[in-house]
Amino acid sequence: MTDMSNENSTGQAMKRMVIGIVVLIVLTALLFFVAPASFYPWAKAIHVIAVISWMAGMLYLPRLFVYHVDAEKGSVQSETFKVMERRLLRGIINPAMILTWVFGLWLAWKVFGFQGGWLHAKIFVVLLLSGVHGYLAGAVRKFAEDRNERPARHWRIVNEIPTLLMIVIVVLVIVKPF
Ligand code: HEM
């Protein structure tokens, strides 16, 4: 019964996410064709909104793992963590990462022609961040199958990595030191 209602609400969350993405794509396409001159600031705004959403999820997910480790396997608490982790990954982190990449690459191409040491360094660090994303997505699967063997200390350390990468990325794009 709990599994069924969890599946239903996950299905609903997925549906809302897909609708949200479709609406955003349609609005973006409209803006692109109707007012191409003001597309640049809008693309940057969407890029920053997506970045904030991606980072929020990337900082929260390992925190959930820290608490999940202490929940007894098969307990209601453990099952609730599984639902929270899956929804966070599929509903926020994955779509936010895709939007960050799409709009970031568009800005990099349209405005900077992929030129600049800071931009190359930034893309490299974002690739590292995307690798951490993949690692966390794998961990969601392991927790869902009760196969996690890492202690809470491991997830506390992993929790710091996105923060460090984010600091480097923001300094690169704002200060543009080289
Ligand atoms: C591969 C992915 C990415 C690419 C290609 C990319 C590229 C860009 C470009 C070209 C700009 C415009 C810079 C300007 O107008 O001066 C920008 C803005 C920005 N990006 Fe990214 N970005 C990516 C991912 C990220 C990530 C992961 C973060 C943060 C964790 C981030 C944070 C920002 C911020 C804060 C701005 C606004 C900077 C400003 O207006 O001065 N970006 N990005």
**55-66 pLDDT tens trace:** 999 999 999 999
- Concatenated DSSP letters for 92-112? IIHHHHHHHHHHHHHHHHHTT
For the chain, give every domain's residue range.
Answer: 3-33+51-175
pLDDT grade, residue 1 (50/70/90)? Answer: very low
In a mutational test of the pocket of ligand 1, which residue from 48, 103, 133, 173 has the highest number of ligand atoms less than 8 Å from its CB? 173
Q: Report, as an integer, the average pLDDT of 171-175.
A: 98
Q: How far is the CA of 81 from the centre of ligand 1 (A)?
A: 32
Question: Ligand 1: distance of its center to the CA of 20 in Å?
Answer: 22
The span from the CA of 21 to the CA of 41, in Å, is: 19
104 Cα–ligand 1 center, Å: 6
Find out whether the beta carbon of 47 lies less than 6 Å from any atom of ligand 1: yes
- What is residue 12's predicted lDDT score, i.e. its pLDDT? 73
Mean pLDDT throughout 23-30?
A: 82
Question: Could you tell me where the DSSP H helices lie in the chain?
Answer: 2-34, 39-70, 76-87, 94-110, 117-144, 152-175
Give the best-scoring range by mean pLDDT among 13-17, 30-34, 82-86. 82-86
